[in-house]
Amino acid sequence: MTSRWKFRDHEAEGRMFNRRVNLVLFFIFLMLATLVAKLVDLQVMRYEYFAARSDGNRLHVQYVPPERGLIYDRAGALIADNTPVYSLTIVPEEVDDLEATLDYLAGLVSLDADDIETFDDQLRRSRVPYSSVPLRYVLTEEEKYRVAVNGHRMPGVRMEPQLMRHYPFADLTAHAVGYVSHINQQELDALDETEFENYGGTTHIGKTGVERTYEHLLHGQVGYETVEKNNRGRVTRVLERTEAIRGRDIVLHLDYRLQQVAVEALGDYRGAVVAIEPASGGILAMVSKPGFDPNLFVTGISNRDYSALVTDEINTPLFDRSTNPYPPGSTIKPVLGLAGLHFGHIDYEFTIMDPGWFRLPGVSYRWNNWTMRTAIGGGHGETDLRKAIYQSSDTFFYQLGHTMGIDRIHDFMSLFGFGDNLALDINYARTGVLPSRDWKMETRGEPWYPGDTINSSIGQGYMWATPLQLATAAAVIANEGRMVRPRMLKSVAGELWDFPEQDSVPDVLLEDPDYWRYMRDAMTMVVHRPYSNVFRDYGTAYEYTARADPDMNYLLAGKTGTAQVVGIDQSIRSSEDIRVSDLNKDHALFIAFAPAAHPVIAPRIALAVFVENGESGSAVAGPVAKRISDAWLLDILDLDLDVEPAVESSEAGQVGE
């Protein structure tokens, strides 16, 4: 001990120390009390609340999207399939540097500006935190491999397997079957509460065609699962699961082979074909050419691809020609002829002298047989209804139309579905125009002039009809007045689909049912009446159909039509460009049904062919129709057309209808 320590009062220092310890103990007691009080508050008083918060943290109910129903054609070919694909997705919350990650990914998979733009769009939208945002769909095998190998360098980047709609026939079924694509906000808003719930896990919805019409059958019922997720939103376990109910598989009346034939038959032309089974109204083929690849829309079409589709003003691949109206031209003449007979304006003996033109009483303007552009000129001479059909005399119908008046034309043609959409499940089909006095006053604010009737009588002027409507009319004629509303859907899950409203449109009842036979024979002559010594006494399509195929073993009833192009821009009309001036050429049309007048077999196909700027209904549209009819009757149905009438006498009842 040094001397400095001598004067220290160790006892006093010890007592002071103990007092300070007691003071500290007092504060420590207070501190401990606050700790314990807070712990009791959290763990006892507010336990229920925090327990619920904890469960809310980890337990999530998530949707299990149902698998979409498949679409088959009538022969069982898969038209819309679901194929597993791998998509590249990013969870932005898990990515440190999004820019760098995207740069890095661009070195592994092909990413174009559109992919990035779509991705950025989705990023900007409100979304569930820690949900993945798709960047690229349908990775190739090589891309999958590259991403898998380098995945550890890219936190937040994932490859997710997904069932993706696939249309194996691509553009062959693009218009009729349609496609699915990403649900947009408008579509979500349009869903009611239960539907909205049902679409919770669904990314795609039917946008066009059958995919849209039968969305409610194809979609299925959403399932649910309760999962536990960690703080990064990754599922750690599934606690409970209610399975989704798969969408229903549907079978269409469509036959992809007939679609193929129609597309091939149209060749390089733009146009449309609608073929209907007269007995059922089932649509066997519905083609609009050119088509497009619907698979592009499933994965989100790129801007480049999309603008390529929409800027092609000549081919307009997205435009469905089969359900959009055109001037029907002479193809409506059989219906008008039946009207003349039905209302008693003409009979089988009635004839006119056709000078090649028609003039309204007191009007100097002459309506010509305008398709006769040959230098020969003149008319058809003495012409009855039958000849007016197979020679397609405009003059006859000018006069008949004038006699009947627009009111009767309108009323009678509407029985065949003109001016209306009779299709049961093609609600997007246009109605065209079946003009009437009221219609003109309403839309144009003008009264109906007699001259308007003359134009309408040959399917020009205000008269517009879709290929679908023309095929329907052909089917009604083939059925001798029995109305069958056109339909796409054949059966669901093996059971024939029953449309409750299928009989809501009445059959066409004529004064004398023999008029149907008469008109059928006249239409048969369009195709089969050969050349003779008589001037202009052959079928308009004979040259290109029956004559071109000497082995033809069934009768095809048809009607040619050649319609003036309406609404072509003057600049296009006067263009020197050959391709553009082609747009000025007449549209070629043909309606048909077959086999016609067969002793045993009722007509099995009714169809309408529309060839845009095809110039000639007889030379261009006629052969297309024959080829489709041949394919259906001879190749696909493989009918025994040589059935002897003698055999028929005992079996006609069953086999015929």
Partner 1 sequence: MNSRTYGQAAAPQGRWAGRSPNVDIGLLLIVGLLGIFGLTALYSASDGDSALIQRQAAITGLGLIAMLLVAQLDLRLVQRFAPHIYLGGLALLALVLAFGVEANGARSWLNLPGLPSFQPSELMKFIIPGMLAAYLASQPLPPRFPRILVAGLLVLLPAGLIVLQNDLGTAMLVAMAGFFVLLLAGMSLRLIAFGGLLALLASPVWFLFYAQEHQKNRIRSFIDPYNDPAGAGYNIIQSQIAIGSGGVTGKGFGEGDQSRLDFIPESHTDFIFAVIAEEFGLAGALALLGLFVLLLWRGLRIAVNAGDMFARLLAGGIVLIVFFNVYVNMAMVIGLLPVIGLPLPLISRGGTAIIAFFIGFGLLMSIEADSRKGSVRNR
Site residues for partner 1 per CB under 8 A? 4, 7-10, 13-14, 16-18, 20-21, 23-25, 28, 31-32, 34-36, 38-40, 42-44, 46-47, 49-51, 53-55, 57-58, 228-232, 236
**What's the CA gap between 84 and 96, in Å, rounded?**
30
CB 205 within 8 Å of CB 220: no
Q: Which of 330, 456, 457, 618 is catalytic?
A: 330
Q: Which two tokens stand for residue 309?
A: 């589709």
Which among 123, 127, 131, 62 has a CA at the least distance from the CA of 98?
A: 123
Indicate if the alpha-carbon torsion angle 209, 81, 312, 289 is positive or negative: negative
Q: Which two tokens stand for residue 11?
A: 């006892």
- Torsion angle of C-alpha atoms 284, 287, 292, 297, degrees rounded to 10: -50
Residue with tokens 């959409």: 421
> Among residues 2 and 185, whose Cβ is nearest to partner 1?
2
80 phi, psi to nearest 5 deg: -130, 120
Residue with tokens 């069958």: 484
> Among residues 57 and 110, whose Cβ is nearest to partner 1?
57
How many other C-beta atoms can be found within 10 angstroms of the C-beta atom of residue 398? 24
**What's the CA gap between 142 and 135, in Å, rounded?**
17
Least CB distance from residue 61 to partner 1, whole Å?
16
**What's the CA gap between 617 and 619, in Å, rounded?**
6
Q: What are the DSSP calls for 568-594, one per residue?
A: --HHHHT---HHHHGGGSPEEEEEEEE
Helices (H), 80-223: 98-106, 113-124, 141-150, 174-177, 185-190, 193-198, 209-213, 215-218
> Among residues 49 and 196, whose Cβ is nearest to partner 1?
49
Least CB distance from residue 35 to partner 1, whole Å?
6
Least CB distance from residue 133 to partner 1, whole Å?
18
> Among residues 16 and 75, whose Cβ is nearest to partner 1?
16
> Among residues 236 and 414, whose Cβ is nearest to partner 1?
236
> Among residues 231 and 533, whose Cβ is nearest to partner 1?
231
Least CB distance from residue 429 to partner 1, whole Å?
51
Describe the crossing of helices 394-404 and 406-414 by its angle, rounded to 10 degrees.
100
Q: Which residues contact 558 (CB under 8 A, 6 or more apart)?
A: 523, 524, 526, 527, 541, 545, 590, 591, 592, 593, 622, 625
Least CB distance from residue 242 to partner 1, whole Å?
23
Q: Say which amino acid occupies 144.
A: K
Which among 657, 655, 578 has a CA at the least distance from the CA of 613?
A: 578
Least CB distance from residue 34 to partner 1, whole Å?
6
> Among residues 35 and 509, whose Cβ is nearest to partner 1?
35
> Among residues 60 and 536, whose Cβ is nearest to partner 1?
60
Least CB distance from residue 23 to partner 1, whole Å?
8
Asked if 330 is an active-site residue, the reply is: yes
CB 340 within 8 Å of CB 522: no
**What's the CA gap between 313 and 325, in Å, rounded?**
17
- For 75, 165, 435, the CA distances from 438, given in Å and listed in that order, are 46, 46, 8
Least CB distance from residue 100 to partner 1, whole Å?
22
Distance of CA 206 to the CA centre of its chain: 9
Helix and strand numbers, DSSP H then E, in the chain: 25, 21
Q: Which two tokens stand for residue 360?
A: 């309204």
Least CB distance from residue 309 to partner 1, whole Å?
43
**What's the CA gap between 174 and 309, in Å, rounded?**
13
Q: Apex CA 159: angle with CA 158 and CA 160, to 5°?
A: 110
> Among residues 32 and 308, whose Cβ is nearest to partner 1?
32
Q: Which two tokens stand for residue 192?
A: 């009611």
Kind plus residue range of the DSSP H or E element containing 50: helix 47-58
> Among residues 42 and 308, whose Cβ is nearest to partner 1?
42
> Among residues 57 and 649, whose Cβ is nearest to partner 1?
57
Least CB distance from residue 48 to partner 1, whole Å?
9
Return the active site residues. 330
